[in-house]
Chains A and B, each alone.
Chain A
Amino acid sequence: MHNTLTRVQNVFGFFTSVAFAVAAAIAMSVLLSPQTPSASLELRNVQVVKGRPHYYSTKREEYAHVKFDLDADLTSLFSWNTKQLFLYITASYPSSDPTIIPPSEAVIWDAIIPSDYAPLHPNTYIHPTSKTAPKPKKSAKGKGKKEVGKPYPAGASPGIVRLDNQKPKYQITDVSGKIAERENATLTLHWNVQPWVGALVWTNTKTVGRWQGLQGGEAKFAFPPLKGTEVKKDDLKTETGGERNRGSPA
């Protein structure tokens, strides 16, 4: 510590130790905040039609289009160390030979739900506004300001998701190209809790310490037989998230 340079080195060196210790304490502190996630997920409609992977493809495959209802309360997943929550729903179905081949899983919908403190990002989820909720009054003050959608319903907090007859984000198919009439399929809600510092946490279905497992969030269904052109194109539309801006300025 006899001259300026050694003092700078010593202070900075100890600062890194303190920063690491505080980060470790923050990462561990999330174990203290109780979690009680619950969700009700239901299949609304599923249709299977023929399609092709991209415009110029000559390959014809079967695609399933799954609509669902989701009513989830995941507010307890937002502790002080939660930056954002990645929510996703998978459709899984058993393979042709379950003893050898594990079941297939395909994501049909996902959303990034930021915490209130997370900086604004164009890819984060915007919750649809419900038809029954009163529309915000337009005042002269807010005229110049552009309305920015929230990742949760009006009056709620991050982690509340209420979706009614939600379109999927992705149509799904199987490697074999055949997905119609598969039995024992399951829709499942999953998540990743992405912290500011610490470990990424996946869906927990079992209770660990103060963290309760997810209640609900599963729905059984079966893929229906293939349909032809009687299905309207409008019924097979998919939802696009903020990430459709990919590559263009936000």
Chain B
Amino acid sequence: MDQILEQARTIYEGEIDFKGQQLAELLTYALLTISGIIAFLAGFVTQNIYQTLYIGLGGTALTFLVVVPPWPYYNQNPQPWLPAKTGKSALDGVSIEVDGKKIS
């Protein structure tokens, strides 16, 4: 049960790695700006404002589709965890105090 919930949470949150976040941001700005420019020009050339409306909305829908789901290309550079430390060396350089008493 816990595993299923964990999977559901992963799908819902759709987290991506740092490089992926940079790419997603770039794509958002690029796609929306370009679709806005194309929409204006298409409408102006055909002298039909409906072209502008539908190309603009279509471009936005495409951007949502490209950017929002956690596509695999946003998870190409997962950040590795630090290697686990075991034994006494695990507490090297770490000081823990409890009630003013130093524990390590």
Contacts and interface: CB of A to CB of B under 8 A. Distances in A.
A4 B43 CA distance: 32
Contacts of B64: 8, 11
A178 B7 CA distance: 84
A2 to B, nearest CB: 6
B12 interface: yes
A202 interface: no
B6 to A, nearest CB: 15
Interface string A1-21: 111110110110011001101
Contacts of B13: 3-5
B40 A7 contact: no
A19 B56 contact: yes
B26 to A, nearest CB: 10
Interface string A24-63: 0110010000000000000000000000000000000000
Contacts of B43: 26, 80
Interface residues of B, number: 32
Contacts of A26: 40, 43, 49, 52
Nearest to B70: A4
A221 interface: no
Contact of B24 (A5, A7, A19, A80): A7
B24 A21 contact: no
B69 interface: yes
A156 to B, nearest CB: 18
A85 B8 CA distance: 55
A1 B21 contact: yes
Most-contacted residue by chain A among B14, B15, B35 (CB, 10 A): B14
Interface of A: 1-5, 7-8, 10-11, 14-15, 18-19, 21-22, 25-26, 29, 79-81, 117, 196
Interface of B: 12-16, 20-21, 24-25, 28-29, 32-33, 35-36, 39-40, 43-44, 47-50, 52, 56, 60, 63-64, 67-70
8 contacts: A11-B32, A11-B60, A15-B32, A18-B32, A21-B36, A22-B52, A79-B47, A117-B49
The 10 lowest CB-CB distance pairs between A and B, nearest first, are A4-B14, A18-B36, A1-B21, A80-B47, A3-B13, A1-B24, A18-B32, A22-B36, A7-B68, A15-B60
